[in-house]
Amino acid sequence: MSLFDIAFYFFALITVASAALVVFSRNIIYSAFALLFTFFGVAGLYALLGADFVAVAQLLIYVGGILVLLLFGVMLTTKLVSVDMKTGTLQALPATLLFAAVAGALSGVYIITDWNVLAGAPDAATTAVTIGDMFLTTWLLPFEIASVVLLVALVGAAMIARRDARSKPTQQAAL
């Protein structure tokens, strides 16, 4: 078992265990931090797959952006009077069955499919230069449209989340 394989199993274990913790934990703060570890695990897997640009982008965007935003959301929407961060119940048996069904079916299909895998060792070059080139030549239009998407999200989120002068008065000034 080479170091490469050990690293794969290590990151895979972190990812799956953290994902399970996110979904099944009753404490929302535990879920948020487990999500952090999931993102790290996935970033490690990207690095093992030779996608260096994507791995770093994962850390910057998901951990640095989305996770921080989720933590803000968690902190802003729990009532200050109660320290109970527990969330609702879930039925264990149907969830496990559904999980086994979905994961099993998909994995089974993947294993029996004959993928046209490229023979030989994959190219070990860094991908950042290639991807950068592609963004400005072949994939120019999606790149520009993605920027419009981000602008729309910016405008919209600011518009929805802001407190208007004439909004309904709330009982607590927590927000």
Partner 1 sequence: MLQHIIDSSHLFRPETALTATFCVVLLVDLFLRKRTSMPAYVAVLGLVVTGWFIAAQYGGAPATLFSNMLAVDPFSIFFKSLTLASTLVIVLFSLQSNELRDSKRMMGEYYALLVSLTLGMFLMAGATNLIMMYLSIELTSMSSYILSAFTKEADDSSEASLKYVIFGAVSSGLMLYGMSILYGLTGSLDIYGINRALIAGNVNNVTLLISVVLMTAGFGYKISAVPFHFWTPDVYEGAPLPVTAFLSVASKAAGFAMMMRFFKVTFIDAAVGGSYLGSWISVPGFEWNHLLAILAVLSMTIGNLIAVWQTNLKRLLAYSSIAHAGYLLLGVVVLSNEGYAAVLIYLAVYFFMNLGAFFAVMMVANKIGSEHIDDYKGLGYRSPLLGVCFTILLLSLTGIPPTAGFVGKLYLFSALLNAKWIWLAVVAALNSVISLYYYLRILRNMFLTQPDPAGAPIRFGAVQIVILLMFVIPTILLGVYFGPLVQYAQASITMFTNR
Partner 2 sequence: MIPLEYYLSLSAVLFATGVIGVLTRRNAIIVFMSIELMLNAVNLSLVAFSQYLGSTTGQVLVFFVMAVAAAESAIGLAIIIALFRNKQTLNIDELNLLKW
Candidate list 3, 80, 83, 122; residue touching partner 2; CB under 8 A: 122
Q: Comparing C-alpha atoms, which of 18, 80, 12 is closest to residue 46?
A: 12
Comparison of 83 and 109: residue with beta carbon closer to partner 1: 109
Helix boundaries (H) for the chain: 3-24, 28-48, 52-58, 68-76, 92-112, 128-136, 140-161
- Sites for partner 2 among residues 39-98 (CB under 8 A): 39, 42, 45-46, 48-51, 53-54, 57-58, 61-62, 65-66, 69-70, 72-74, 76-77, 79, 87-91, 94-95, 98
Q: With the CA atoms of 59, 62, 66 and 71 taken in that order, what torsion angle do they form, in degrees rounded to the nearest 10? A: -60
Task: Kindly calculate the radius of gyration of the chain based on its CA atoms and give it in whole angstroms.
Answer: 21
Work out whether 29 is an interface residue with partner 2 (CB under 8 A). no
124-143 residues in contact with partner 1 (CB under 8 A) are 137-142
Q: Judged by CB under 8 A, does residue 137 bind partner 2?
A: no
6 lines the binding site for partner 1 (CB under 8 A): no
User: How many other CB atoms sit within 10 Å of the CB of residue 124?
Assistant: 6
**Is residue 144 a contact point for partner 2 (CB under 8 A)?**
no
51, 127 Cβ separation under 8 angstroms:
yes
- The footprint of partner 1 (CB under 8 A) covers 105-106, 109-110, 112-116, 137-142, 145-146, 148-149, 152-153, 155-157, 159-160, 164, 166-168
